[in-house]
Structure 1
């Protein structure tokens, strides 16, 4: 092979390598695919081994149970906010006011997270709508009745403290029941973590409220 021919082949080879490098490093609009890998699959007796290309599987869509949990937990939390919002002007025990303030702050953040999740999973929400349709707020575990809320609004001092704690314990127990019902009935990491957080946080708060009632 002549020198000029070898030179032309070398130039072409460098150009191809450069193009490949630019394609790999460039910031195109399409996201880079997740890397795949080759795995060895043992053959049956007497047959040769084979190779297969294995890549990451697509995340499973949230289940109807997970969608329903998030949709119901929002109004459930909103009632806790309504109840806790009464404490600053009605509670006589500073510890009750402090507890109510913590519940108010934490559940506002959780509601924001839940609403964001519903927007991000609009397709799953639409698909689950038929299965979850008809769920009423009054049937959710732990919800205070309109009559109980009126009693709480009318109460002051020690009477408010006692009624607030009793209603909130029942309210928290309902949330824990709802969380238990959805745990391990889906694959969505965010919802499963929400449910576990509800369980752990509200169990601890129930213990605290029982201590306050007993003191």
Structure 2
């Protein structure tokens, strides 16, 4: 998988485009009042996208991205439920709390078009004409921010490498164990392309 020269890009957002934030939503995020909003959003059948931006406004970051120790995928852990896991039931969070940049320019070592799937809650690549395979059935469904993820840079005490694109389901998964987790398309995930390096607490 390469950041340039892709076979194509899905121009639609599955009918889901994130509106520009108004003053009230900005202040709500700034105050960190997200738990109640997330619960209300889930009840209403729509998913909010809580985030924390740095004080300079140069880069927007979202935390609560976690490793699922059942399927090895990266998923969003910010709602009352944990999405749909291909290993059965819901995802199960373990380890680091990852903090990911969004809506910033891509670069030679940072790939954009990584999206939240509002069906299974996993991170998936939205840069092809199709949207991969979702464990809840059909394809992933993009919603919210356009995440821009670092790759092929040195890991550190607060940045973990070995995160990979699965060419079967299009999800981001951890490639650091002897096995490759559980893929919703059947069998294990299959690593292709860049070695992503994700920042964590």
Output the TM-score relative to the length of structure 1: 0.26
Task: Return the structure number with greater strand share.
Answer: 2
Output the TM-score relative to the length of structure 2: 0.27
